[in-house]
Amino acid sequence: MLRPYSRAIHQPQPYSMLRSLRYILTIAASERMMLYRTPKFWVLAAIGGFFTFVAVLGTTIASIVDGNPDGEFLLEGTDAWIALYFFSYVQTIIIIFVAGDFRKAEQQARLDQVMLSRPMTTANWVTGKYLGIVGALVVLNLAFIGISAIGRVFKVIFLGANFNLLPAIQYFGMVTVPSILFMAALVFFLISLLRLQALAILLPVGYVGVILFSVRHQYKGFLDYGCFMAPLFYSDLIGFGEINTLLWQRAFFVLLACALVCGTILLYPRLRQSTGSQRMTQATGVISLAAAIIIAASVWSRHTARTAVHEADLTYQSQWRDTPRVQIKHYDFDITMQKSAEPLRVTVRLAVYNPHPQPVDTLLFALNGALAVRECRWSGAGRVTVHQAHHLVAVILADRPMAPGAVDTLTLSYAGRVDADAFMMERLPDDKGVIPKSGNGPWIKGNIAAWIDGRVVVLPAQSGWYPTPGAAAGHPYEAPRPANFATATFRIHAPDDVQVVTQGMRRTEWIADGQRHAVFDVDTPTPAFSLNAGPYIRLARRFPQTEVEVFFYKGHLLNHEVFSDVADTCFQTVERLFELYETATGTRYPYPRLSLVEVPLQMQVYTTRHGVDNVLLQPGVIMIDELRFAEKRFKKTVERFTENARRNGRDDTPWRIKREVFVRTVLGVFMPDRLQRDSSLYSPVRNYYHFRVDLAHPVLSRGLELQFQEAVERRIQDTFFPDRRDVALSTYDRLRRNDGDAEWAFDRRYNTKLDSVLTVLQRIPLADVRPHGDGTQYRAMVDVKASPVFDMLQDRVGERAYHTGLASLITERPYQRIGLDDFLHTLQTYNTVDVASFAARWLHGTAFPGYRIVRAEAEKWDTGRMQIAYQVKVRVQNGEEGDGFVRVVFKTRRDRISRSLALSSFQEKELHVITTDLPEHVQVIPFFARNRGLIMKPVTVGQRLHRGVPVDTVFTVASIRDSLDFVVDDQDAGFFFPQTAETRYLRPPAHIMSWRQVTAPEAYGRYIFGFRYRWASDGEYPARWETRVPRTGLYEISLHMPSRQPMQRRYHLMIEAADGVHEATIHPQGTKSEWWPIGRYAFDRDRPAVVELSDKGKGYILADALRWTYVKGE
């Protein structure tokens, strides 16, 4: 028997938090339950589950396929959090639609009146519904983490992985929960405010779209509620890294969510139940909003203050730039790394040298301001006064100034952390100076410029972790800070599981008291010292030139043992690589060791005001981000290469395949594909000269480095990949050629077009290029022109003389400052070519030639020695103002012959080259020209057999200025379409397809090889060539047809000649590119000569070039 329950009558239960909480939880539970029973939710769950499943299964399978003993595919624990990250995009949209049903659900169910006449407060009602949605989504995300956990358990059991879900849990707490809270609150608020579900859904969708596609991480990330663009990377070395700002941003969104929920309650269309509840809601809303604003303002002001401090530092350091600088000849470091508030403790004895003719009473050193100087002792004088401000340490020697030429010892003790803001003070602001790794999303570089926590230490020299003479910043462009070359001794005390990497050679090492103690010596004067430490595994191999060490995090260098059976063969390639470096630079690698050390994924490369400084490349040490190591899958790559080789009928011998994989890996590290990545130059070419002399001139410094880099890259292509069809090009060659991906890459890298850069270079000589603004134009100009010009110079003076000159800089002026004039002067002393006139033309002038191959033929010769020789005749033309040089490469079936050729303005030269191999094609490689794409032509071999001995020669044919045989190409100004598709579009019936452009090497071109085409129409869209003939008379006109193009058979042309308008029809057929004669027509030099190609007919119409050939006079 049921006993009826009766509600109290007129004895309202007093308001209590507990009762409110009960209401909220009830409503939330019901809301959640109803959500669980909606298709929307299960669609969301299916998508999320799919992401997680794919991430876990994919990475598991990948790690099994890779045979990785640690069971990891990427960085440890990345699979789970990366699944959550990608799911967050989908979740955003689903939240909007799920939360968009707030109110609508009751209205549709006709339950709103019933529910709102219940005794709970509006706050209870709204909060309950809000938490119901949030709770359901949180549970869903937790379920995904659970799936990840199950996957990881399998990995632990079967693959030996570590159980690490921390990244996913951290991401969930830091990003997912605040995102759900905010977006659901925003939708609730909009629905209460606007009372229109559609608008309340559309607005947040638009907001998300704006974040993803426009705003991104602008406004300090305070619009990016979902952290879609936040620099969130999980690193095996340092976890999520510096996330303080991110946590403040998350707190901001949580508080904003709270304020929005309060706003929703207040705006909710229900009669107020309790004044107290309303007041409380108002107060909570106001407090939350105020707190959010305070956080935003605080973070904003911290940013502003940081910028101000930065500027103050810079200004302060500028004041000290002219203070006489001492030199440090030797550093004697005693470094302790520990996990504490002061993770770095250093005592350093400096051998200070006064190079000035007068005494010095203040010793000025740049030192990161977060490292507090504790003690300073001056030899013989005991403690001395020290002023430390703005990342400068001034040691006052008032009582005992340093005598001219004296060498004394200064002992400095300092400790602390490293302030990342002291890192490259002349860098661009953060929003412009940060180098994205690749696009956006999860792959944006983090904001870590230096890292130190006692166990993992990443201190590039530029972080100012050790004292260097003089102010670090504030120096004028023309007189940058001189480098200080010094030797050093490092005594390092670190946790025993930590490997330490410096410029030094390890002299001794021992473990005592749980600490690893090591002594390193740097015997060669070195301009910069870096410090790396971490729980690394070390692989090393001694080569004749140097010892190469790789320091990597556990589990990152996957399956490297696949090379063990071919180690010697593989390592020969490293030796070869060193040889190529030596050949390209003309000098040996200067250090006894080259260390490649993994650094956290987030490591940021700041952009200086005038370019990317190579901060991850230190003398003898190259820091490489950990993902670059972790993504190497040797076993899988070997299998793929083997499969490809078999498919293509190539040699699939295991040792050969493994060697190829090894070579590509090594090259991938030293020569990353710069079209795709904006990483710094990893190549050690900088070590060869830049760390041994102080190359002060930025054009020289950057240009020389690029020249070596490109030279090595081309040589590598030639050496390791000789089967390529065209000649070896460097990455920058491809950029300069500006075709395909290169155009996109150029635009992305320099934020400008190659043509714009070339236009500026026609006005400004290379030597006068000066950085301004963010320096992108400066970098583009130097990158486009400097390296080719130095290549040209090397070609002119000869490689041997060039290298001798450079080597003499090291031997005769070691560790000294070298300017552009010093460099040119040194080169002049080693050869007879007029370097000054070359410099006048190419460094101080604006020459800008353009080249084309006019003719490429070969004749067969019977030399009488039982051998057929081929005399290849090639005509190359420089059709522009500006003297230039090109390399002409003759490709035969088995060989490649290269010749250098100088071509002055408008000059055409013919080269004859003898080869016994069947010539295939010829390619012109300009150093610096206005050409785009390949300049290449197949060689036509004549069938007639000549007798005798052909000669190898070169001679000038003519100046094309006087030519009466000229061409109007589709790229020229004289080619145009008299009626555009757009104008035709306005007059129906319209055929809106316009002429399209395509590049093709078989097309005619001066510097750009391509043609136009369109589908035949009714003759409404003709193509027209218009020119002025140089002399009145009869001309033969011909139309150029690219080869092998599907096209229509009849071409209808209209010719406006001197004697009136003529019509002609031609029937071009054939499989090769050729000129099709149209006829002979008289043209008057005072009237335009016009030929118009109709688009009438069937099939594709092609328009390429039209040639006028003078036949006779009037």
Partner 1 sequence: MRITVRHLWKTYGKTLHALRDVSLDIGTGMFGLLGPNGAGKTTLMKILATLETPSAGQVLVNGTDINTQRAAVRQTLGYLPQFFGVYPQLSGTEFLAYIAALNDIPRKRRRAAVQEALERVGLAEVGDRKVRTYSGGMVRRLGIAQAVIGDPKLLIVDEPTVGLDPEERIRFRNLLANISRNKAIILSTHIVGDISSTCEDLALLSHGQVVFHGDPARLLDQTRGHVWSTACTEDEFSAVAARMQIISCIVQERRRIVRAVGDPVPGLAMWPETPNLEDAYMYMTQEAL
Residues 6+ apart with CB under 8 A from 694: 482, 483, 527, 815, 816, 817, 818
| Closer residue to partner 1, CB minimum distance, 38 or 804 | 38
Choose the stretch contacting partner 1; rule: CB under 8 A; options: 112-120, 176-184, 361-369, 769-777: 112-120
Choose the stretch contacting partner 1; rule: CB under 8 A; options: 107-115, 289-297, 452-460, 972-980: 107-115
Choose the stretch contacting partner 1; rule: CB under 8 A; options: 26-34, 670-678, 855-863, 1041-1049: 26-34
SS3 content of the chain, % helix, strand, coil (to 5): 40, 25, 35
Q: Is 935 helix (H, G, I), strand (E, B) or coil?
A: strand
Residue in 670, 666, 674 with CA at minimum distance from that of residue 686: 670
Give yes or no for residue 113 binding partner 1 (CB under 8 A).
yes
| Closer residue to partner 1, CB minimum distance, 139 or 505 | 139
| Closer residue to partner 1, CB minimum distance, 270 or 912 | 270
Give yes or no for residue 10 binding partner 1 (CB under 8 A).
yes
Residues 6+ apart with CB under 8 A from 740: none
Give yes or no for residue 34 binding partner 1 (CB under 8 A).
yes
Answer whether 80's CB lies under 8 Å from 55's CB: yes
Contact flags string 154-193 toward partner 1, x per CB under 8 A: ----------------------------------------
Q: Which of 16, 17, 18, 117 binds partner 1 (CB under 8 A)?
A: 117
Q: Which of 120, 237, 886, 1091 binds partner 1 (CB under 8 A)?
A: 120
Q: Is 868 helix (H, G, I), strand (E, B) or coil?
A: strand
Give yes or no for residue 102 binding partner 1 (CB under 8 A).
no
Cα 98 to Cα 38, 101, 295, 798, distances in angstroms = 10, 6, 29, 72
Give yes or no for residue 118 binding partner 1 (CB under 8 A).
yes
Q: Which of 37, 339, 944, 1067 binds partner 1 (CB under 8 A)?
A: 37
Choose the stretch contacting partner 1; rule: CB under 8 A; options: 9-17, 230-238, 750-758, 870-878: 9-17
What is the nearest approach in angstroms of partner 1 to the Cβ of residue 679? Answer: 53
Residue in 1046, 1041, 1113, 1051 with CA at minimum distance from that of residue 1082: 1113
What is the nearest approach in angstroms of partner 1 to the Cβ of residue 20? Answer: 11
Looking at the DSSP bridge assignments, the partners of residue 468 are 366
Report residue 928 as tokens: 């610096």
What is the nearest approach in angstroms of partner 1 to the Cβ of residue 265? Answer: 15
Residue in 600, 446, 562, 627 with CA at minimum distance from that of residue 72: 627
SS (H, E, C) 68-85: CCCCCCCCCCHHHHHHHH
Report residue 729 as tokens: 């090009």
Give yes or no for residue 1064 binding partner 1 (CB under 8 A).
no
Give yes or no for residue 115 binding partner 1 (CB under 8 A).
yes
Give yes or no for residue 27 binding partner 1 (CB under 8 A).
yes
Integer Cα distance of 184 and 88 in angstroms: 13
Give yes or no for residue 394 binding partner 1 (CB under 8 A).
no
Choose the stretch contacting partner 1; rule: CB under 8 A; options: 25-33, 131-139, 756-764, 1106-1114: 25-33
Integer Cα distance of 832 and 827 in angstroms: 9
Give yes or no for residue 4 binding partner 1 (CB under 8 A).
yes
Give yes or no for residue 9 binding partner 1 (CB under 8 A).
yes
Q: Which residues ranging from 272 to 291 are in contact with partner 1 (CB under 8 A)?
A: 272-274
Give yes or no for residue 105 binding partner 1 (CB under 8 A).
yes
What is the nearest approach in angstroms of partner 1 to the Cβ of residue 266? Answer: 16
Choose the stretch contacting partner 1; rule: CB under 8 A; options: 111-119, 145-153, 538-546, 948-956: 111-119
| Closer residue to partner 1, CB minimum distance, 132 or 1042 | 132
Integer Cα distance of 870 and 950 in angstroms: 8
Q: Which of 121, 264, 717, 971 binds partner 1 (CB under 8 A)?
A: 121
What is the nearest approach in angstroms of partner 1 to the Cβ of residue 48? Answer: 20
Q: Which of 20, 23, 135, 460 binds partner 1 (CB under 8 A)?
A: 23
Concatenating the DSSP letter of every residue in 203-254 gives HHHHHHHHIIIIITT-GGGTS-TT-SSS----BTTTBT---HHHHHHHHHHH
| Closer residue to partner 1, CB minimum distance, 24 or 337 | 24
The widest CA-to-CA distance across the chain, in whole angstroms, is 127
Integer Cα distance of 444 and 224 in angstroms: 14
Q: Which of 17, 198, 271, 398 binds partner 1 (CB under 8 A)?
A: 271
What is the nearest approach in angstroms of partner 1 to the Cβ of residue 559? Answer: 52
| Closer residue to partner 1, CB minimum distance, 7 or 947 | 7
Choose the stretch contacting partner 1; rule: CB under 8 A; options: 21-29, 353-361, 397-405, 653-661: 21-29
What is the nearest approach in angstroms of partner 1 to the Cβ of residue 273? Answer: 5
Phi, psi of 923 (to 5 degrees): -130, 135
Residue 702: in which H helix or E strand, if any?
helix 698-720
Instruction: Return the exposure string of 543-578: e unless at least 16 CB atoms fall within 10 Å of the residue's CB, then b.
Output: eebbebbbbbbebbbbbbebbeebeeebbebbebbb
| Closer residue to partner 1, CB minimum distance, 94 or 903 | 94
Radius of gyration of the chain (CA): 36
What is the nearest approach in angstroms of partner 1 to the Cβ of residue 288? Answer: 25
Give yes or no for residue 13 binding partner 1 (CB under 8 A).
yes
Residue in 843, 854, 554 with CA at minimum distance from that of residue 699: 843
Give yes or no for residue 108 binding partner 1 (CB under 8 A).
yes
Residues 6+ apart with CB under 8 A from 725: none
Q: Which of 46, 114, 389, 567 binds partner 1 (CB under 8 A)?
A: 114
Phi, psi of 415 (to 5 degrees): -155, 160
Residues 6+ apart with CB under 8 A from 277: 15, 121, 122, 123
Give yes or no for residue 16 binding partner 1 (CB under 8 A).
no
What is the nearest approach in angstroms of partner 1 to the Cβ of residue 264? Answer: 19
Integer Cα distance of 591 and 530 in angstroms: 15
Give yes or no for residue 119 binding partner 1 (CB under 8 A).
yes
By rule CB under 8 A, what count of residues binds partner 1?
42
Give yes or no for residue 43 binding partner 1 (CB under 8 A).
no
Integer Cα distance of 79 and 167 in angstroms: 9
| Closer residue to partner 1, CB minimum distance, 270 or 896 | 270
What is the binding site for partner 1 (CB under 8 A)?
Answer: 2-13, 15, 19, 22-23, 26-27, 30, 33-34, 37-38, 105, 108-111, 113-121, 270-274
